[in-house]
Amino acid sequence: MAPMDQAVTRARKLSVVGAPEEVQRWVDAFVESALDGHGDWPHQHIELPTTQTSLGRLWSAIQKDFASVTGQPWSVVSRGFPPLPGSPLPPLPDDERPRDSSYHNLLHSLFGDFH
């Protein structure tokens, strides 16, 4: 997995309009992991289109796609961004852990149906 400060090695695939730099760095590292297939990805996702999104849409997608198995939304405000693929989740009770497909679901929420 590439460190967040080294994640932009290709043309940026997803720009978050008006986002602070630390948010864009997380997004770049997340997308880079999907492109390379590092972490929890079953394969590379080299077919991602180039697009942009708003900060609000990014946060909403994270809340929804990283919701716990009981449906509790992930809070970026209280928990921060989810760990990058391949990194451990923070200690959470079993009923607060996100579903296994969270990263892939987030990718589709942000890029649409790219397959």
- pLDDT of res. 8: 47
In a domain, 7, yes or no: no
Q: Residue 96's domain spans which residues?
A: 12-111
- pLDDT of res. 114: 76
Dihedral angle computed from the Cα positions of residues 47, 50, 53 and 59, in that order, rounded to the nearest 10 degrees: 40
* Tokens coding 90: 């923070």
| Pure H helices in 2-89 | 21-36, 55-65, 76-79
Dihedral angle computed from the Cα positions of residues 48, 90, 64 and 100, in that order, rounded to the nearest 10 degrees: 60
Judge whether residue 49 has pLDDT over 60: yes
In a domain, 18, yes or no: yes
31 vs 113, higher pLDDT: 31
pTM: 0.85
In a domain, 2, yes or no: no
In a domain, 70, yes or no: yes
Q: Determine the Cα–Cα distance for residues 52 and 57; give it in Å rounded to an integer.
A: 10
**Structurally, how many domains does the chain consist of?**
1
In a domain, 102, yes or no: yes
